[in-house]
Structure 1
Amino acid sequence: MAQDYYQILGVDRNATEQEIKKAYRKKARELHPDHNPSEEAAEQFKAVTHAFEVLSNAEKRQNYDATGHEDGRRAGGFGGGGFGGFSDIFETFFGGGAGAGPASRARRGQDALIATHIDLEEAVFGTEKTIEVETAVRCERCDGSAMEPGTHPETCTTCRGAGQISRPVDSILGRMMTTETCPTCRGYGDVITDPCGQCSGQGRVRERISFTVKIPAGVRDGTRIQLAGRGEAGVAGGPNGDLYLEIRVREHEVFTRQGDNLHATMTVPMTAAALGTEIKIDTFDGEQAFTVEPGTQTGHVVTLRNLGASRLQGSGRGDMKITLNVSTPTKLNDEQRELLTRLAELRAEDIAHGQMESRGFFSRLKSGIDNMFSHDES
């Protein structure tokens, strides 16, 4: 008596392809030798697999429904041996793309990276930049569908919209079915018969576009700003990628940046450093004044609060730090030389001999200890 393949799988005779596949996967899991090593389960597993081979093939199923046979081949045509071939079956039906249905043509667009240059002052306060870039944009004619307007894709006649086809393979267990991507529709389940002429069926075209970007205050050289959805348009209506804008800050002729602080070096005359004065400088915030105290030496740093770069993370601004360089005159006329000589005399300065700097307390203490131990050893 011929076996009832529908009964073996536990499905109705009107079951769809997906229902048959789902039933097979459930039965196969229950009867697989790794979970049920009995001989009875092994025979049932063979029967379930053969039933699926017949009912998952449209032509064989039609012959079976009409005659009770599938092209003259009955259930039971399995060879003996172990279960090594079942690993391939499970790779086909329980892994990969099996059972996932047709694939989607839509794919996310690629991300893009471009650089833009700004001045240091723009980095301190923030700015807006108009960016121009050549990229893939959605095709206006087909609105990203990749088809001529008013047309629709046709269901693939090879796989009947499944995106996959089944074909028999010979194994130690007999003839079995394996699934693979449909070569006609490439797994999509349908075929575009009238692709858009403007984008050649891609759903996107390349164009040069421009847009305005707000660059935040405090941005640093090398910072990357992510612009979501500003990358290349997706294929066949897929989502856009992202655009990453890399900031390049040009060098300034006066100021350099260290962290959130701005640094500069200023030369002051020897007389101004000696007598003290008020100096005005140009900053990004306009003209600012600061005091040079009498007796200022080279290397002294003047700090101007809150005149540095804005903090990108947080609030407030850094400082501006001005390092003073006291300039000693190199060319003197007779009158100037006489005046400086008179000044040295008034200050009782020995201009013929320098004065060595005294060592610090800890340096002298270390020398004393070293000498003490050297005497003990002798």
Structure 2
Amino acid sequence: MKKDYYDMLGVPKSASKEDIKKAFRKLAHKYHPDKKDGDEAKFKEVNEAYQILSDDKKRAEYDTYGQTFGGAGGAQGFDGFGGFGGFDPSSAGVEFDLGDIFDQFFGGGGGGGRGGMRRGNDISIGIEIPFTEAVFGTTRTVLVTKTSACSSCEGTGAKKGANMKTCSTCNGKGKVHEARRSPFGTFSVSRTCDVCGGTGQIPEEVCATCKGAGVVRDREEIRIVVPEGIEDGAMIRMSGKGEAVPRGTTGDLYVNVRVMPDKTFSRQGLDLVMHLPIKLSDALLGTHRTVVTLDGDIDVTIPAGISFGETLRIRGKGVPSRGSRGDLLIKLTIEMPKKLSKKAKDLIESLKKEGM
């Protein structure tokens, strides 16, 4: 069944990039496999949908052709036709040759196939960071098990100093053509050559470490730079840090960031919010309080006659973003005494008579 990426993210086809981003963040946080009630399959689905719809070129291609010409895995056939169910051109390194299809109908010209370099799979992982590190930024080092370019041959698959020769499978073209039958007739499919990986050349002697594959599977240490002001559920894309493929381009690494809640602070956009209880006498007469913030202790003046629920705004003590910072919002709550002494009651009665 054809996947509807818009439906996966719960957005209309007219959705803006910002709407798509917000929907993805919400669903990625909901389904993240690290959560107790997470759903790995759903997480992968929304990630796949976001990768297509957040890219203008891929989105336009998807809107025009559907999944058949999309960049994501699990592509299906044309709507209403059989013959391609379960056929995944992206995983097989296959791209349809539109020129050859048009030749069948119009006798027109179209060049050769568009077959190009293969691309490795993307990887998704999750990390959890404290609230303070999300505000000011941090770094994390993770170990990821994946295929990487062989260090001995630098991904070529060739023995050091070995000569290269023309690939006999594709005759140096880097791609092979296959005849495919469809409801429209027989047409040519251009596929990346499995032997040379699309380069058109193979080594006369292969690398002993990777046995000519050009890649090895190992644990790689990856340093993740978490930018200041990152929000809970945000996704960091690290280009070229995904799975490597022989003589192809490496996929990307997607890092889902989970921000742990803080006991004192919460966020409203770029503003930090905290609650500060004060005594009734301080609300009436005013006072000075030392407040512990993420930047250290600051002295706060509470004006006389402040009302219950009022908010003090401390400029420039919020979340950093692009050279500026939000504000710190201190929401005041007035602590009412549970018991009153006779002297206190008499004083309050006096205030009452004064109209207070």
Question: TM-score, normalised on structure 2?
Answer: 0.56
SS of structure 2 residue aligned to 1:347:
helix
Q: Distance in 1 between matches of 2:216 and 2:150?
A: 6
Letter in 2 for 1:320: L
Q: Distance in 2 between matches of 1:205 and 1:223?
A: 31
Instruction: Select 2:325's aligned residue among 313, 317, 332.
Output: 317
- Maintained 8 Å contact 1:164/1:180: yes
- In the other structure, the counterpart of 1:114 is 125
Q: Distance in 2 between matches of 1:117 and 1:198?
A: 36
- In the other structure, the counterpart of 1:142 is 153
SS of structure 2 residue aligned to 1:340:
helix
Q: Are residue 214 (structure 1) and residue 216 (structure 2) matched?
A: no
| Aligned CA distance change for structure 1 residues 329 and 301 (closer, same or farther; 3 Å) | same
> Where does 1:220-259 land on structure 2 (aligned, <5 Å)?
220-236=231-247, 238-259=248-269
| Aligned CA distance change for structure 1 residues 240 and 203 (closer, same or farther; 3 Å) | same
- In the other structure, the counterpart of 1:328 is 336
Letter in 1 for 2:140: K
> Where does 1:37-48 land on structure 2 (aligned, <5 Å)?
none
Instruction: Select 1:307's aligned residue among 317, 333, 341.
Output: 317
| Aligned CA distance change for structure 1 residues 326 and 144 (closer, same or farther; 3 Å) | same
| Aligned CA distance change for structure 1 residues 152 and 166 (closer, same or farther; 3 Å) | farther
Q: Distance in 2 between matches of 1:326 and 1:166?
A: 78
- In the other structure, the counterpart of 1:346 is 350
- In the other structure, the counterpart of 2:34 is none
> Where does 1:277-292 land on structure 2 (aligned, <5 Å)?
277-292=287-302
- Maintained 8 Å contact 2:167/2:196: no
| Aligned CA distance change for structure 1 residues 288 and 219 (closer, same or farther; 3 Å) | same
Structure 1 segments unaligned to the other structure (5+ residues): 1-85, 168-177, 356-378
Q: Distance in 2 between matches of 1:271 and 1:179?
A: 82
Q: Distance in 2 between matches of 1:241 and 1:347?
A: 73
Q: CA deviation at 1:132?
A: 2.6
Q: CA deviation at 1:154?
A: 5.9
Q: Are residue 133 (structure 1) and residue 148 (structure 2) matched?
A: no
| Aligned CA distance change for structure 1 residues 161 and 214 (closer, same or farther; 3 Å) | closer
- In the other structure, the counterpart of 1:294 is 304
SS of structure 1 residue aligned to 2:323:
coil
- Maintained 8 Å contact 2:143/2:220: yes
- In the other structure, the counterpart of 1:376 is none
Q: Distance in 2 between matches of 1:262 and 1:150?
A: 60
| Aligned CA distance change for structure 1 residues 269 and 258 (closer, same or farther; 3 Å) | same
- In the other structure, the counterpart of 1:269 is 279
| Aligned CA distance change for structure 1 residues 227 and 343 (closer, same or farther; 3 Å) | same
Q: Deviations over 1:194-228 (max 9, x none)?
A: 65554354311122122333322222222333322
> Where does 1:193-204 land on structure 2 (aligned, <5 Å)?
196=207, 198-204=209-215
Letter in 1 for 2:289: I
Q: CA deviation at 1:341?
A: 1.9
Q: Distance in 1 between matches of 2:159 and 2:216?
A: 14
- Maintained 8 Å contact 2:265/2:272: yes
SS of structure 1 residue aligned to 2:301:
strand
Q: Deviations over 1:150-187 (max 9, x none)?
A: 556665667765666899xxxxxxxxxx9998999699
Q: Distance in 2 between matches of 1:249 and 1:117?
A: 6
Letter in 2 for 1:109: G
| Aligned CA distance change for structure 1 residues 135 and 266 (closer, same or farther; 3 Å) | same
Letter in 2 for 1:321: L
| Aligned CA distance change for structure 1 residues 113 and 298 (closer, same or farther; 3 Å) | same
Q: Distance in 2 between matches of 1:215 and 1:180?
A: 41
| Aligned CA distance change for structure 1 residues 277 and 95 (closer, same or farther; 3 Å) | same
Q: Distance in 2 between matches of 1:158 and 1:235?
A: 16
| Aligned CA distance change for structure 1 residues 181 and 271 (closer, same or farther; 3 Å) | closer
Q: CA deviation at 1:133?
A: 1.9
Structure 2 segments unaligned to the other structure (5+ residues): 1-102, 180-187
Question: TM-score, normalised on structure 1?
Answer: 0.53
| Aligned CA distance change for structure 1 residues 227 and 196 (closer, same or farther; 3 Å) | same
Q: Distance in 1 between matches of 2:189 and 2:272?
A: 66
Question: When you count strand as a share of all residues, which structure comes out higher?
Answer: 2
SS of structure 2 residue aligned to 1:296:
coil
Aligned residues: 244
Largest Rg, 1 or 2 = 1
